[in-house]
Amino acid sequence: MAIGAQNAFVLRQGLRRAHVGLVVALCAASDALLIAVGVGGVGALVQQHPTVLAVLRWSGAAYLAAYGARSLWSARRPQALHAAPEREGGRWAVVATTLALTYLNPHVYLDTVLMLGSLANQHGADRWWFAAGAAAGSLAWFACLGFGARAASHVLGRPATWRLLDLAVGVVMVALALRLLLG
């Protein structure tokens, strides 16, 4: 639920009411693919080398704690997301931008392949149910971001909204890091 470049792009497209369904579909399908890679690849690796799970757990906790701290730090100086007029890009420009923001973003791999893969593998034989739930959650998240942006455009322009969002993201990320360490 972190608001990074990819999510900000989805929000901007929603505010602009431009190719929202396409952007939501590409982001959700990409997440589902990367989650499956994480569950399948990390699962096989963990079965052969159980210490890898411990390393992934600690790495994931460190990443979540750092991201949470960054979000909490951002909450100190909030910024607003503005749907500034941009040159109107066609469908292929939007596709290219969406794919670049998805697959060239290292955080996407940390979130989906490593973090969700390691969390899923804590569920043993039920890891694919976890993966399906994570993919469904991703679809719901991107749909809410894109299609909800239009209805909430008057609120999203306020810095106070972003302060609360960054604060909530920070608290959730730190809580997840603690759960990984203690679980």
Give the C-alpha separation, 1 to 145, whole Å. 10
Q: Band of the pLDDT at 181, cuts 50, 70, 90?
A: confident
Helix (H), strand (E) counts: the chain: 9, 0
Per-residue pLDDT at 51 exceeds 70: yes
Per-residue pLDDT at 32 exceeds 90: yes
pLDDT digits (tens, 9 = 90+) for 97-124: 999 988 887 677 778 888 888 888 888 8
Q: Band of the pLDDT at 126, cuts 50, 70, 90?
A: very high
Has this prediction a pTM greater than 0.75? no
pLDDT on residue 177: 80
All structural domains of the chain with their residue ranges: 5-182
